[in-house]
Amino acid sequence: MAKAPKDLSDLFHETLKDIYYAEKQILRALPKMAKNAQTDELRAAFEKHRDETEGHVERLDQVFEMIGKSPRGKTCDAIIGILDEGKEIMEDFAQTEALDPGMLAAAQAVEHYEISRYGTLKTWAQQLGLKDAVPLLEATLSEEKKTDELLTRLALANVNKKAA
């Protein structure tokens, strides 16, 4: 029996599993990043984003429920690579003035990945008529953008200057 051709709803579900996995990995990485942060502002930003990320997972759980699927992730090689780069920075630049700028840059790479995924999922949800999922995805997208903006402000205000 031939498989039915895959469509946008299948792609939406696969991408949802991807970002679900990514969010779970980010939840595990953020406490380590906060612990290693040398400035109070960066530490606070990582801690705040960890709390927000728990909410992102809860919203994803709701979206999975809306499409009648169990919330589960699939291995996301992209986020594994981005987080591995962050771990490498924490190891290679530990106890140096460049540690915070490096971790901040790694965190922004994560944010940019998430912004890309949530923007795509929101657009697809609109196209698929998943009107109840759109505000959930938009709320997370907005938080990811605000976190990225906060990290940029921290970099410009003091983190990069202290390392220069």
5-31 pLDDT, tens digit per residue, is 899 999 999 999 999 999 999 999 999
130 versus 164: the higher-pLDDT residue is 130
50-75 pLDDT, tens digit per residue, is 999 999 999 999 999 999 999 999 99
pLDDT at 68: 96
pLDDT at 34: 95
Buried b (16+ CB within 10 A) or exposed e, 113-134: bbbebbebbbebbeebebeebb
Residue owning tokens 């410009």: 156
User: What is the band of 162 on the pLDDT scale with cuts at 50, 70, 90?
Assistant: low
Distance of alpha carbon 49 from alpha carbon 147, whole angstroms: 7
Q: Which CATH number fits domain 9-163: 1.20.1440.230, 3.40.140.10, 1.20.1260.10, 3.40.50.10800?
A: 1.20.1260.10
List the chain domain ranges: 9-163
pLDDT at 156: 86
Name the phi and psi angles at 68, rounded to 5: 70, 30
Residue 16, both tokens: 């949802």
Read off the pTM: 0.92
Residue 128, both tokens: 């698929």
Angle of CA points 23, 29, 35, to nearest 5°:
140
